[in-house]
Amino acid sequence: MPEQSSPLDLAEGDPFGPHNLPYGVFSTPDRAGERRVGVRIGNHVLDAGAAALALGSPYAQLLAQPDLMALLSAGRTAWRDVRRALTAWVTVPAHRTDIEPLLHPLDTVTLHLPYRVADYVDFYASEHHATNVGRIFRPDGDALTPNWKHLPIGYHGRAGTVVVSGTDVVRPAGQRKAPADPAPVFGPSVKLDIEAEVGFVVGTGSEHGTPVPLADFREHVFGLSLLNDWSARDIQAWEYVPLGPFLGKSFATSVSAWVTPLEALDAARTAPPARDFPLLPYLDDADEDEPGGYDLRLSVAINGQVVAEPPFSTMYWTAAQQLAQMTVNGASLRTGDLYGSGTISGAEPAQRGSLLELTWNGRDPLELPEGKRTFLEDGDTVTITAWAPGPDGTRVGLGEVTGRIVPTA
């Protein structure tokens, strides 16, 4: 009989090869109540805690856990050392006897939110997105607000409604008032939208009262995930003056089940767009040792039909600048903090990361196989995928984030 291939023998170019190794949390049908830290390799999940115990690893205490919190809080040196160990476990032939029984096919496991979200902040960092939104809502005024190129604009969201990919999203209800309406009405949102984003996951916290400088970004941020910041545009438009987003955003934010460590994305580092405004010193990254941007290629699909391909490399404000802005007033970081990049949009119409832009606030409907779309209908499924350049010409796959819209409860 022919020798059976190992799950560790991946096809050439697999975006989830040993150069990637994103972290997640999973359970299996036979142990449904037990959540375990897993690492994705190809189309399998390695039980990382069981592997550490089987191999007598000193990192078993960090990996034999029900979530990623212990690993996140361990700090950058531990993150690097654990990643090196995992790479050896899935590549060194001598480990195969121990490792192969601990691999679970991806389609047989349940994936869970991999960390406990402490605080959630969302930014507004794409110049193309901000310009488009300004032109839609202020056609006779300046597209960008006066502060936009001086600081990364953001708001605090609701950490308790961050959900893992695959969770249904209930259409939110709330007050809305169109400009011509005599009074507000209450009911389900009729302008439910998506925002294709990247979320950054904080590992080690910081001391209250001590800002985090640009140079310390990698000391605090463990990795990133794809993120969909669902938005009820009609609710948002009525409520957001003067204090900003509230119920139009807080009903759900979906994140990928996989967190890609920053080390896996070293080959994707790239310079951000040229700045045409001088920056205050705490945001000025001109002399930083490594470029602050990431070359991530996103794809947004509605019911399987690709509607946009936003490029993350065009983001005006970097993740390091966002972290510096978040803490410059002395606000502290906590393990499990999550912050979103803001909607990612490029210069071309097909690179816009929201339906607000893609349809120009409903003026130009999208043509999908099942009918036209201005905003999301009940039953629609939105899936965001992405990849980044990896070492030696490889690709690093980012775990998808998907959600299906269900009717108002």
In this prediction, residue 304 has a pLDDT band, given cuts at 50, 70 and 90, of very high
Name the one residue in this structure whose structure tokens are 């039909």: 305
Q: How many Å separate Cα 3 from the centre of its chain?
A: 40
> pLDDT tens, 329-367?
999 999 999 999 999 999 999 999 999 999 999 999 999
In this prediction, residue 32 has a pLDDT band, given cuts at 50, 70 and 90, of confident
In this prediction, residue 241 has a pLDDT band, given cuts at 50, 70 and 90, of confident
pLDDT for the residue numbered 3: 54
In this prediction, residue 2 has a pLDDT band, given cuts at 50, 70 and 90, of very low
Question: 323 phi and psi, to 5 degrees?
Answer: -65, -40
pTM of the model: 0.97
Stretch among 107-111, 182-186, 190-194, 237-241 having the lowest mean pLDDT: 237-241
pLDDT for the residue numbered 111: 98
pLDDT for the residue numbered 188: 98
Helix (H) or strand (E) holding 212: none
Say if residue 404's pLDDT is above 60: yes
Stretch among 19-28, 240-249, 342-351, 385-394 having the lowest mean pLDDT: 240-249
Q: Is the CB of residue 296 less than 8 Å from the CB of residue 312?
A: yes
> Which percentage of the chain shows pLDDT scores above 90?
93
- Cis amide bond preceding 58, omega within 30: no
Which spans in 34-180 are helix H? 48-54, 60-63, 69-74, 76-91, 96-99, 127-137
Show Cβ contacts of residue 278 under 8 Å, excluding neighbours closer than 6 positions. 284
Q: Is the CB of residue 23 less than 8 Å from the CB of residue 201?
A: no
In this prediction, residue 1 has a pLDDT band, given cuts at 50, 70 and 90, of very low
Beta carbons within 10 angstroms of residue 294's beta carbon: 21
Per the residue annotation, which of 44, 104, 128, 129 is the catalytic one? 129
44 is an active site residue: no
On average, the pLDDT of the chain sits at 96
In this prediction, residue 118 has a pLDDT band, given cuts at 50, 70 and 90, of very high
